[in-house]
Amino acid sequence: MNPVDGLKGKVCVITGAGKGFGLDLAKLYNSRGTRLALITRSTEDVMALRKLFSDDEDDTLIFEGDVSDPETVEQFSNAIHEKFSAANILINNAGMRFRKPFLEIDLEQFNEVLACNLGSMFLMCRALIPTMKEKGGGKIINMSSVLGTNGLSDLSAYITSKAGIVGLTKSLAIEFAQSNINVNAIAPGFCKTSYYQDFQKNRHDLYQFTLDRTPMNRWGESREVSDVCLFLSSSMSDYITGQVLHVDGGWSAC
């Protein structure tokens, strides 16, 4: 049997599921027969998700809320446990970014990015790991970034948060290894998600820089990240934990 077929019937939690990687992941896991618990803070995206998965209501939980808020995460995790008992897979995908010179960032802005990108992962892991342990294990996949291990100007808050994800991933991997919980991170390079068109049309110099800096000389497709996520969710990755898999066209090799 194809190991990926073993995902059928398992419960996959995806944060930031309304757009970009999160939406593509939701579609992919649904196609594999996985039961889904999705969260996004956009009312519009919640409505779109409910329409998209209207034929799978019994196997899908769609929740509106901000995963950087402890009360929201508690409510979401309670809903997950009530509907599904426990999660088998947690994909921490929610995130935000903005470009701004370091000296123009105030502490409130800095903390907002850290809370969304890193704090949300802390909250989600803390909420779902206990029942993962009770059920005999699980898979946690944290979305970092190629910039989490490489610097770039005007993105100090974002890069700090993504570097923190690497540290959290490695720490949790060690702590929960004997509980049969694999914790890994994916570090995507520049990929064709929601900001791709903006880069092409309005930030051409920056877009060209990313092409020149990437040895494969192209932006990645969203599915190229989703497929790695699928691998890390399956039994094929049972002996892999604490790792950061770069899906970046060679950026991190330079």
At a CB cut-off of 8 Å and minimum separation 6, what does 26 contact? 14, 17, 36, 38, 49, 52, 53
What is the spatial distance between Cα 33 and Cα 18, in angstroms, rounded to a whole number? 19
Catalytic residue (one of 29, 158, 207, 239): 158
What is the spatial distance between Cα 126 and Cα 183, in angstroms, rounded to a whole number? 13
Residue 8: Cβ-neighbour burial (10 angstroms; 0-12, 13-18, 19+): exposed
Residue entry with tokens 């994909």: 91
Nearest to 92 by CA among 189, 172, 154, 212: 172
- Contact call for residues 238 and 6 (beta carbons, < 8 A): no
158 annotated active-site: yes
How are the residues of the chain apportioned to helix, strand and coil, as percentages rounded to the nearest 5? Answer: 55, 15, 30
Residue 126: Cβ-neighbour burial (10 angstroms; 0-12, 13-18, 19+): middle
Characterise 38 by phi-psi region: left (phi > 0), alpha (psi -120 to 50), beta (else): beta
Torsion angles phi and psi, residue 30, rounded to 5 = -60, -40
Nearest to 114 by CA among 93, 127, 97: 97
Active site residue ranges: 158
